[in-house]
Structure 1
Amino acid sequence: MITTATASYASPNRGNRFPFGRRLPCDIYWHGVSFHDSNIFSGQVNKFPGMMETVRKITLSRAMRTMQDLFPLEYNFYPRSWILPEELPLFMAEVRMMKDSNPSWKPTFIVKPDGGCQGDGIYLIKDPSDIRLTGSIQSRPAVVQEYICKPLLVDKLKFDIRLYVLLKSLEPLEIYIAKDGLSRFCTEPYQEPTLKNLHQVFMHLTNYSLNIHSGNFIHSDSANTGSKRTFSSILCRLSSRGADVKKLWSDIISLVIKTIIALTPELKVYYQSDIPAGKPGPTCFQILGFDILLMKDLKPMLLEVNANPSMRIEHEQELSPGVFENVPSPVDEKVKVAVIRDTLRLMDPQKKKKKDTQRQVQFSSLDPVALANVKYD
């Protein structure tokens, strides 16, 4: 908790909360969803203008494809993607060409609505002709990606990683990555996709908001059990099997850096539009949620980037039909409280006023990313 700074919290559902009235400026403004206050002329805001738009599935895919065209070996951690409906003919033609050149190739594809969240509207297909060509595809654009069929399994279950990343500034580019994250598990044993099991979402989709409705979902009461665990517990398990977890962590850091570099040009356009150089305005920072899938060979693959990752530290438990209560989640609390605490410490506006000889705060959950070897123009 920052005791030396005034903070403001803005929520779309609860309105704005200001400790001493709106007329007094705040050191830190904490918006609930997106940067949307044009009347902030100083201080720090926990959202970048345009971030919500920049990390949408279509925009992210365009940015990653641009970098893949320029640096194919450096950006091979993002699945091959096509944008619907505009690239549907291209998608069908490329898949047909790849099948002709390799008749044994039996791909699976995953279709994700552009503005979807929590697994809403996602479905798997085996053939481009299986895309649901309804009116909704025109009004609700989507991304179709090659599905990763050989994920790393733990306890025979597919899982993904939610890793928290603090983008502290754009100029200079300053990134911090949480030392721990969440591992979110499917609730049915994994099988490679077939026409018979394509619709089994509890087997193929790792979304917490979907799997929590499964009868097999296990609320975690420790870091290394249940349907949501700490990423560090997975790393310990892999290390005990002889896996090179240092290389894995290095690959994940590289993925995060390269993804943010791909997003930076568009972010700068939004930033300079809302906060022109030379005019009064706040500085921005933001906690992002990176969703990463590990392949069987431990290669990390980027699934998506969330501009507004959930920071809830409890889950709903049904006591009786239709009666729920909020129950603390030890796994969420362990990871998320540390991320928010250290984010506020890093952004502490009083920090700059402290003497250089004063002992610096040691951050337990966030590591600065070394950008010395990254050139960005």
Structure 2
Amino acid sequence: MLKFDISNVKGSEKTLLKMIIEKQNWIDCGEQHSKAKIVWNQRKQDKCSKYSINRPRLQISNKIKGIATISQKASTKQCLSTFALFYPEINEIYPETYIYPQDRNLLYSKNLNLFIAKPSNGSEGKGIFFPNSMNDLVKKAGLEQLVIQKYIDNPMLLDNKKFDLRFYILIHKLNPYICYLNKEGLVRICVDAYEKNNKNQFAHLTNYAINCENSNYVPCSNDFINDNQSNKQSFSAFRQTLQKNGQDDQILFQNIENLIAQFMKAIYPFILYHSKSDKSEQSQNFCIIGLDIILNSEGQPFILEMNSSPSLQITQYKNNKEEISPFDFYVKELVVTDAILIATNKKEWNDTSYKLLSDEYQLVNNSVLELLNLFWYCGKGMKTLSCSQFCKISNFSGMLNDNLQRVEYQILFCKFQVQRINFYQFLELIIAIQKRMNIQLHNLLEMIRI
């Protein structure tokens, strides 16, 4: 019987967990923290509770280190942009994106009327605006870091209204890397009809926290599997709507699954890097992340952002009164319960609401991951190595250093030794060396492959 420490959780999320624990006949350990099998965290960081220092070795947490860092909008963009140096096709899954003020000079050449600005650490739609010009952007940004993203101005519409999709992904393990996509999700629909040139927030921003403030907001009914009239619907109901309209929901879901698999592949090396450890197999932790996806008018999906701590709120305001939302409970109970059952080996994934992101997507078969291993390898003990020693130690199994010029090793060595570059800078350096040597990237990677 599973035992839980949920002492670090508050509000509606704690209500959800208590309801799940009671329904499954599991046990809330209360103050007996050491007896818990699962320590549930509400925070983004894996700080667990104040008892985490003495946490028993076999306890499991619902947070994986490194996830919170890359889920910040600016960090997600950096991960994908860096990955795109090696796999340019990744640019097709994410709108054109810049970071302010870092990319300020690049933004001067852009028509900012086509972009949307979001605070890098923002949530619930707070602080989002449509810049009219660079001066407008600078004035509104102040000292805050912003993500400036090309606006998808030809979105697929439901009843002439813009919507987006929230999907939940379970990262079961990091080594081996195993991810699952929950087949249910949320469809969040704007209250007002979409007008391309009218920047009314109720017509352009799909966030629940914004739209629920509108008196015309319609909460989901208790028939949430079939309800296609509300402003927040189930993905199951959305698929039924597509079928009724003569559209192929199977193809659309497959395209979304492919998109998510590509995204999960791209972020994996950076999760490992930010976890500050190349021994991720020691971690038993799992993590539920949220991905927000939008479809254009042709049904092509794009990932808008990632959330390492997706809201597990199950309450809604109805007639100025807060109450449990049966719809939110349905979706989030499914997501959380089945994630726990998979993470604790109580059920096989095919007996749950999750779908395995299978090996055919080759989630970890990429050169960026190999370069992370090289980065770790070269980064060990650099303070005591001379440049000549570094050249020698680089000649480990599979590395044909005779095909590299000594100057290339000197550059690598100086970057590590003097500037202490990070992994992102290291990958940019690899690209620079490839261009200077004027050889195909895959040939260079063959030379330095571990």
TM-score range, shorter chain: 0.7 to 0.9
Percent identity, please.
26
1:7 partnered with 2:4? yes
Name 1:191's counterpart in structure 2. Answer: 195
Count of residues in Structure 1 that have an aligned counterpart in Structure 2: 340
- The alignment partner of 2:92 has SS state of coil
Name 2:275's counterpart in structure 1. Answer: 271
CA contact (8 A) 2:29 2:35 kept: no
Quickly say closer, same or farther: Cα 1:190–1:290, change in 2 above 3 A. Answer: same
- The alignment partner of 1:144 has SS state of strand
Letter in 1 for 2:285: C
Larger Rg: 2
CA contact (8 A) 1:84 1:137 kept: no
Quickly say closer, same or farther: Cα 1:147–1:249, change in 2 above 3 A. Answer: same
How far apart are the structure 1 equivalents of 2:280 and 2:89? 35
Q: Out of 222, 225, 228, which is 2:229 matched to?
A: 225
1:172 partnered with 2:176? yes
How far apart are the structure 1 equivalents of 2:280 and 2:103? 37
Following superposition, the deviation at residue 325 of structure 1 comes to 3.0
Name 2:47's counterpart in structure 1. Answer: 36
Unmatched segments (≥5 aa) in structure 2 = 15-27, 370-450
CA contact (8 A) 1:67 1:75 kept: no
How far apart are the structure 1 equivalents of 2:270 and 2:47? 17
Structure 1 length normalisation: TM-score? 0.83
- The alignment partner of 1:304 has SS state of strand
Name 1:355's counterpart in structure 2. Answer: none
* Greater share of helix: 2
Q: Out of 114, 119, 138, which is 1:108 matched to?
A: 114
1:65 partnered with 2:81? yes
Following superposition, the deviation at residue 133 of structure 1 comes to 2.5
How far apart are the structure 2 equivalents of 1:310 and 1:233? 21
* Greater share of strand: 1
Quickly say closer, same or farther: Cα 1:269–1:123, change in 2 above 3 A. Answer: same
Following superposition, the deviation at residue 290 of structure 1 comes to 0.7
Moved more, 147-156 or 84-93: 84-93
CA contact (8 A) 2:113 2:130 kept: no
Cα deviation, 1:305-363, whole Å, max 9, x if unaligned, reads 111111122212244xxxx332x323212221111111111122567xxxxxxxx6853
Q: Out of 130, 143, 152, which is 1:148 matched to?
A: 152
- The alignment partner of 1:181 has SS state of strand
Following superposition, the deviation at residue 247 of structure 1 comes to 1.9
Unmatched segments (≥5 aa) in structure 1 = 97-105, 352-359
Letter in 1 for 2:188: R
Name 2:332's counterpart in structure 1. Answer: 336
Name 1:357's counterpart in structure 2. Answer: none
Quickly say closer, same or farther: Cα 1:64–1:53, change in 2 above 3 A. Answer: same
Quickly say closer, same or farther: Cα 1:350–1:213, change in 2 above 3 A. Answer: closer
Following superposition, the deviation at residue 71 of structure 1 comes to 2.3
- The alignment partner of 2:317 has SS state of strand
Letter in 2 for 1:206: T
CA contact (8 A) 1:10 1:32 kept: no
Structure 2 length normalisation: TM-score? 0.70
Q: Out of 114, 124, 129, which is 1:123 matched to?
A: 129
CA RMSD of aligned residues (A): 2.4
Name 1:252's counterpart in structure 2. Answer: 256
Cα deviation, 1:60-83, whole Å, max 9, x if unaligned, reads 011111233332334402010111
Name 2:32's counterpart in structure 1. Answer: 21
How far apart are the structure 1 equivalents of 2:4 and 2:155? 42
Higher relative contact order (CA 8 A, sep 6+): 1
How far apart are the structure 2 equivalents of 1:276 and 1:42? 16
How far apart are the structure 2 equivalents of 1:365 and 1:350? 14
Q: Out of 155, 162, 172, which is 1:158 matched to?
A: 162
